[in-house]
Each structure stands twice: as C-alpha cells, then as structure tokens.
Structure 1
Amino acid sequence: MGQKVHPNGFRVGITKRWNSRWIANKETYGTWLVEDQLIKRFVRNSCHQAGVEKVQIERTNGQVKIFIFAARPGIIIGKKGSEIEKLNRALMNNFGDNISVDIREVKNVKTNAQLVAMNVAEQLEKRTYFRRAMNKAIESAVEDKCKGIKILLSGRLGGAEMARSEKQIFGSLPLGTLEVDIDYGFAEATTTYGQIGVKVWINKGYFRDKVEEI
C-alpha cells in the first residue's frame, strides 16, 4: 500500500504556520471555514496576474485580517493605491465590513514552489513544450542555489491520447524528515487537451543551518 501524505499537511503546526488562524465554537466553526475558502478563492481570482502565492486569514475580536503574499504586489496595490481600495470594497461587499487587507511581497520567486508551479502551468497554457518548461524552471531554481527540486506533471502531455505522468528531479529531496525545509506547490494548466496538474517540491536546506546563519 502506498503511504502518501500531503507535504504541507505533514508539516503544518510543526515547521509551517496555519493559513487560517482563529478559534471558533461549534456554532461558528463551519461558517468561518467555508467563508475562509470563499475569501481565498475570491482573492486568487481577483489578483491572478499578481502571482499570489498564498492567502492567510486571521480573526480577532470580530476583525478579519487578510494577508496576501504576492510576487508582484504593485499590481494589487495599483497607482496611488487605487486597486487595493477596489479589492477592499469588493471584499467588504461580499464578506462584511470588518475586513482589512495587508499585502506582502514574496522574495526568492525562483525557489518558491507555488510560484514555480504556477509559472510552469502558465507556460503549458501558452503551448510551450512540457519538457522545456520543466527544464527552464529547474535551471532557474538551481541558479538561485536551491538544494534540490522535483517537478511532476500529470495529464495528456504533448496532446497524447492517453494521460501519463512525467517528472524531473535535481539534487537532494528528503521528504520523510521534518528537519528539512521542503516547500510544496500545486497548480493546474487548462489546455486544449484538458487539465494538466503541476506539482513542485523544493528543498531549501536544513533548519539547523538557517539558525546557524542567523
């Protein structure tokens, strides 16, 4: 039997933070859980050109604070803050008045697994040959001194009649330990042949090495 676990679920609460941070009772838990998913989906759809890596939500004293981590925060903010005001108003109209938005810039874009997966998916949608898209992403990550990277594509690759999976691995990628900072990302490419799934794992090194550097 295959023993598979989601890479983020395996590490959340230990080496990774929760993306939704609040405490609820039985009456409000289900409502807030669904609302969080709707907010995240709304933000991703509204800011898809900004390269949104993740959306985190905090709820305290009736206030909802939304943290948007993006590769291109200037697109979300807009000229003189015009775009972020529109986003804030849209969120308030859909999810209530007690909402505030905080934009954070994502650094090291080439070694961010979610952004790499989104970039590969975008290349596939532009009809770039899948092996070329994978090689380009791996080369960029290696230039940025990542310890290891794996990219897995699944679907009708190259317009083949039968769906299949293809992966490329570079360097070291120990997935069974919590001592290593493993970043995971997933994206989907919508092509004329159907959906192609893109999964990316990136090894950012041992946590103990980062502590020693500090």
Structure 2
Amino acid sequence: NLKGAAVSEVIIERKKNRCDIKIYTAKPGIIIGQGGKDIEKLRNKIKKIVNEDVYITIIEEKKPDLSAKLVADSIAKQIENRANFRNAQKRAIRSTLKAGALGIKTVVSGRLGGAEMARTEGYTEGTVPLHTLRADINYATSEADTTYGKIGVKVWIFKGEILPDKKIIKGGNQDGINA
C-alpha cells in the first residue's frame, strides 16, 4: 500500500519489546493519510505480525533527486508509460545534477524499444568513482514491466567523498595524523 508514496528507504530496528521503523519518503502525506488514519492501519498490520509495540517514524526526503532508488523508480515508471528510455535517462541525469550530485551513472537493459535482441545502454555524467572506497555512492535498481518484458534500471549517484576527521595523535617522540 506504499506504492505511490515514493519510499526510498525503510530501516527496521528490533529492540527488546518494541519495533522501530523509519520510512524515508518524498511524499509523507500519502503514507500518513487524512488525520493519520493510514499510518495507524499500517501500524496495526505490523503489530499483528510482530506481536510487539510498533513505532513508525516518517522522514521526508528533502531532495528526492539525490536518492538513487527514487531516480531508478522514476526512470522505470517513465519506461512503463512508453516514454523513450534515452529521454527518461537524460531527464533523470539533468535533474540529479541540478540537485547537487557530483556525478550520476544510469543503465537500462532488456528489450529496449521492443527490439527482438535485448541490449544494455547507459549514460554517465560527471564523475562516478566506483573503485574509491570513501566515495559516497548511492546505488539502486528498479524494474519496468512493459508489454515486451521487463526492463532493468540501475542508478549510481555520487554525492562526494566521506572524509574521516583528522585526529592528531601525540605519542612518545612521534607525531602523526591518524586518518
């Protein structure tokens, strides 16, 4: 029932006698519903399954164009609605870079345009350092169901590098930086 809510991530934490659920979404109003009735239905459904107290926190995604899951779902939805796969990718790349990403890579694969032979096509804009361990890269996949089969969508979004805090350690006669 969270189909149209643009959910990018769900984090479930199980504690001693309760279950904390964090839902990251671009459209929190759809999950909450009028007067919070939809979120209560969701809470009660989950409570029946886990037999514990359930606490649901909904966190609004401020920049949905920087979430790889939402971008991949957007491209898949456009392909399902018979949009050209190249235009869908280029539109997603433009909006993601405008939102502040340093780079984005998108790949679609399958029977593109209804072709008899399946193939893979992708676009990369900016930098996407997949071999750098400290790179903050958000990756997600999605599928588009079309009349001629499924089309897979993969998205990598590079947001910058995660730099550890430099701590200066003074020990004995050596001074060094622990990074």
Same fold (TM over 0.5): yes
What is the Cα deviation at residue 64 of structure 1? 1.2
Q: 2: CA distance between counterparts of 1:76 and 1:184?
A: 24
Q: 1:140 aligns with which of 95, 98, 113?
A: 95
Larger Rg: 2
Q: 1: CA distance between counterparts of 2:79 and 2:49?
A: 33
Runs of 4+ with >3 A deviation: none
The aligned residue for residue 76 of structure 1 is 31
Q: 2: CA distance between counterparts of 1:113 and 1:127?
A: 21
Taking only the aligned residue pairs, the percentage that are identical comes to: 45
Which segment is superposed worse, 70-79 or 87-96?
A: 87-96
Deviation track 1:59-113 (CA, whole Å, cap 9, x = no partner) reads 1112111111111011000111111011111222333243221111112111211
Q: 2: CA distance between counterparts of 1:75 and 1:136?
A: 25
Local SS of the residue matching 1:188: strand
Query: Does structure 1 retain, via aligned residues, the 8 Å contact 2:75–2:88?
Result: yes
TM-score (norm 1): 0.74
What is the Cα deviation at residue 131 of structure 1? 0.4
User: Which blocks of at least 5 consecutive residues in structure 1 are unaligned?
Assistant: 1-45
- Bigger share in strand: 2
Alpha-carbon RMSD? 1.6
The aligned residue for residue 130 of structure 1 is 85
User: Which blocks of at least 5 consecutive residues in structure 2 are unaligned?
Assistant: 166-179
- Bigger share in helix: 1
Query: Does structure 1 retain, via aligned residues, the 8 Å contact 2:19–2:52?
Result: no
Q: 2:128 aligns with which of 170, 173, 179?
A: 173
Q: 2: CA distance between counterparts of 1:125 and 1:88?
A: 31
TM-score (norm 2): 0.88
- Number of equivalent positions: 166
The aligned residue for residue 29 of structure 1 is none
